[in-house]
Amino acid sequence: MPSILTCTTDAQPCPPEAQSWVAIEELLAPADLGVTPAAIFEVWGWGFAVVILFWFFGYCTGIVVDAVRKA
């Protein structure tokens, strides 16, 4: 299990008594960062909607261009 050295105070340079080893899993826990199933679904939904929106804009633009070329 990889660990990183962190400082528990805002002092620069960090005093040796304030240094501690912390597991990466504790610092990067998805639940602590706000990554929940609801958040993932919301981001996926927004991404899907943006792709469909731009597809629709392209489709409508294509219809208009074809209509202008035929006229």
- pTM to 2 decimals? 0.56
pLDDT in tens, 37-55: 999 999 999 999 999 999 9
What one-letter code names the amino acid at 67? A
Take residue 2 and report the two structure tokens written for it: 């990889």
Note the helical H segments in 1-71.
24-27, 37-70
From first to last of the 71 residues of the chain, give the pLDDT tens digit: 688 888 989 988 999 999 999 888 888 888 888 889 999 999 999 999 999 999 999 999 999 999 999 98
Distance of alpha carbon 71 from alpha carbon 1, whole angstroms: 69
